[in-house]
Amino acid sequence: MNLDQLTEGASARIVSIDDGVADLAAKLREIGFCEGDDVQLLTRGPLAGQPLAIRLNRRIIAMRREEARAIQVDQSL
């Protein structure tokens, strides 16, 4: 499942980052997203459920659905 599909408050582990869009993948990695990291969808924006506030380890990063879709997560790990 993708990061944007998490329900609010749910945590998961990153299993892969979509390299299809190279530029986006590089941006996500540079800001810190990495396989094996712990993420949580904290909250969604007030309008149309965008943007998403994502907790990555000990920081919070805002992104839209488009960016979150490039991150695959697993809730069972």
| Minimum gap (Å) between residue 76 Cβ and other proteins | 21
Q: Which is nearer to other proteins, 66 or 74 (CB)?
A: 66
Please select the residue that binds other proteins; options are 1, 10, 15, 31, rule is CB under 8 A: 31
Please select the residue that binds other proteins; options are 10, 15, 66, 75, rule is CB under 8 A: 66
CB atoms within 10 A of CB 30: 8
Cα dihedral: 49, 24, 29, 19 (round 10): 110
Q: Does 44 bind other proteins (CB under 8 A)?
A: yes
- What is the C-alpha to C-alpha distance for residues 35 and 50, in angstroms, rounded to an integer? 24
